[in-house]
Each structure stands twice: as structure tokens, then as C-alpha cells.
Amino acid sequence: MVQNIDWSKLGFHYTETEFIVRAACHDGRWEEPYATTDKYLQLHVSATALQYGQEAFEGLKAFRGIDGKIRIFRWRDNARRMAKSAEGLYMTPVPEELFGKAIRMAIEKNIDFVPPYGTGATLYLRPLLIGTTPRLGVGPGHDFEFIVIASPIGPYYPGKFHCTTFIVNRHVDRAAPYGTGQFKVGGNYASSFRATESAHALGYDCIFLDAQHHKYIDECSAANFIGIKTNGQQPTANSQIEYLTPKSSAILPSITNDSLMTLAKERGYKVTRRHIRLEELADMQEAAACGTACVISPIDKVLDPERDRTYHICDQPGPVLSELYHALRDIQFGRAEDKHLWTEVFTPSV
């Protein structure tokens, strides 16, 4: 199977690998994880995942570095975020060490699928937690299955690092202020498809505003928003440069955004997390969506057809975000020192 993969042609979609890893939980007790080649689950039709959406997932990557070593990026943060998502949906959290063991096992069992250095491709890991208790009466279950899927994925930018145009949607809210937006649960994505798919049909991505006022920027499709006010400065250590990102109870706390904020602070930029009015886009010199998949996806324009307004941000990726993008990629691929201990070098068990 592995021999047939043209690493340079992989897109951002699922390529089946040999093993998945599974672990079950009954009445609060987690069993040991095991690897299996069977990709199908025997799930009762009344499982709470199917009936009531008791489902949470994560997304993280393992990188083959310039030195040939495999580095897993900030997996403990994904484990903690998944524990919060589990609590948010009344599920038994996966213990951190079990999470780590399962992702290491998924890498080890699929080691030949870790793309070579230099292709830009990586091994994407998709931990998944589902409720398996059969029930029809509305309520949570007490049995769960934790699964880790691995798939090699291509670089987000196979060609040039480029910009994307976004469109504002006020007719579909992604998540309520005190709802599940801060959790990585399937329901948030299913409920946003009406907006994201209609944006894609027009050739754009979708910006979600806060559901209460439709005034502040919440999320960019399935990614956090970053705005840069450069005040005419170059990306050198300079407190004139401001890195802005939304403060909202309805957005997912992005691990990429957190990493970029740390790198921005190191460069002396002012990092501000606050409500960001949509109209403030007019004062930004750079903007981007950020997340594990793309790291940074620069935004050239934001269209607001209802208000008959277009915010022109920049024609091509700007210097501040480009530099942060390369700085984080360099850490992930082992080309730069990992001062923050964000990566764990994978060591096979035997």
C-alpha cells in the first residue's frame, strides 16, 4: 500500500493507513489501547453518539524532521482540549497518558505512512471519542470508545503560500455564546456546513460572527482569526506591531494560535485578545485564519454582501504573518530550536 503513495501529490484528505488504535471505557474505567486493521465499528444503532451526538474529536500532526526524527506537536494540549470537550458533552475524558500511548501506537503501527522530510506532507492524527451506550431516552451514556485514526496528508500549500477570500454569513451561527463552540465536537461542524458549503460554492471561505450580536468576529470556517496592525513597521521586534485575536466563549482555543501568540510576543509584538468588530478589518494590514491544517491561511479580502462592503486587506501574504508561519514550521520540522518544548520526538517502543 505504502509503495503506491506519491507523497508530493497527497492532498488534505484521508488516505487509509494500516492500523487504527482503539480503547474502550465502561462505567468510568478505561481499558488498554490496542491496534487493529479493522476500520469498522460494531455500534448499536441506539448508541448515544448516533442518537444524541455524544462525539468529540481532535486533530494533530507528526512531522518527519530534517534530521529524520519524527516529532509530535503539542499532543498534551490536544489531550487536555479533548478532555474539556468530553466534559462539555458529559462523556468520560480520556486520561492524558492513555491519549499519548494511543497516538504513539498509531504512529508506530503506521510508521511507513509518515511522509518523508522535504515533501511538506505530514502524518495527521485524528483522535475520536464516541458514546457507545445504547439508549433511546434522551440522556448521556456511560460507555465510550476512543479511537485514533492516522492519515498522511499533503502540504496545505503545495505551491505558493497564498491568500484566501472570506465571506461573512449572518444567517447561520456556528455556536452560541454559552454553547459548545469552545469544544471540538462534531455537532459544531455539522451545524456550520450550511454556511461553509454555501461560501465554497461561491469560491470563498466563511467568517462566523458572534451569535449574540452579529458584530464581532468569532471564527474563520474551522480556524481561529488573527489580525495584524503593523502601523507601517517591518516584522522586527517592535511593539508597534499588534497581533489581534478574538476573545469569545464560542470559539475553539486553537493550539496553533496559542503557539503563534507566543512567537509573536517573543518578537516584541503586542498580543491582544479581545472582541474584534468586523469593521476593524478596515484598519488591518494583514489577517489570517490559523489552525493545525494550514498553520496560517492569509486573508486577502473579506466580503460582506449584506452591507455591500468589501474589506481589502492585502494582495499577498504579508511579512508579519509569513515570518510567523515559517518560524512555526521550522520548529515543527526540526529546523529551529524548540525552546518551548512543543514537540515530542517519537521513539519506537522496541
Cite the active site residues.
Answer: 184
DSSP 75: H
Stretch that binds ligand PLP, among 4-12, 35-43, 153-161, 219-227 (CB under 6 A): 219-227
Q: Report whether 107 contacts 201 (CB < 8 A).
A: no
Picking from 194, 181, 146, the residue whose alpha carbon sits closest to that of residue 49 is 146
What letter does residue 232 receive in the DSSP assignment? T
Least Cβ distance, residue 28 to ligand PLP (angstroms): 27
85 binds ligand PLP (CB under 6 A): no
Judged by CB under 6 A, the number of residues near ligand PLP is: 12
Which of 125, 130, 223, 226 forms a contact with ligand PLP (CB under 6 A)?
Answer: 223
Site for ligand PLP in 259-318 (CB under 6 A): 291-292
222 near ligand PLP, rule: CB under 6 A: yes
Stretch that binds ligand PLP, among 118-126, 152-160, 198-206, 248-256 (CB under 6 A): 248-256
Task: Work out whether 328 is an interface residue with ligand PLP (CB under 6 A).
Answer: no
Q: Which is nearer to ligand PLP, 85 or 292 (CB)?
A: 292
Smaller CB distance to ligand PLP: residue 92 or 259? 259
**What is the DSSP-derived secondary structure letter of residue 261?**
H
Q: Is residue 256 at the binding interface for ligand PLP, with CB under 6 A as the rule?
A: yes
Q: How far is 127 from 58, CA to CA, in rounded Å? A: 5
Identify the residue among 199, 252, 287, 328 touching ligand PLP (CB under 6 A): 252
The alpha carbon of residue 296 and the mean position of all alpha carbons in its chain are separated, in whole angstroms, by 11
Minimum distance from residue 254 beta carbon to ligand PLP (Å): 3
Amino acid at site 65? G
Give the orientation angle of helix 75-88 with respect to helix 96-109, to 10 degrees: 120
- CA quadruple 29, 30, 31, 36: dihedral, nearest 10: 150
CB of residue 277 to ligand PLP, shortest distance in Å: 20
Determine the Cα–Cα distance for residues 88 and 314; give it in Å rounded to an integer.
38
Site string for ligand PLP, 35-64 (x = CB under 6 A): ------------------------x-----
Question: Is 254 an interacting residue with respect to ligand PLP (CB under 6 A)?
Answer: yes
- Nearer Cβ to ligand PLP (76/142): 76
Enumerate the β-bridge partners of residue 145. Answer: 24, 130
Q: Spell out a b/e string for 20-42, using b for 16 or more CB atoms within 10 Å of the CB, else e.
A: bbbbbbeeeebeebebeeeeeee
Nearest of 299, 267, 262, 297 to residue 284 by alpha carbon: 299
Q: Which residues bind ligand PLP (CB under 6 A)?
A: 59, 219, 222-224, 252, 254-257, 291-292
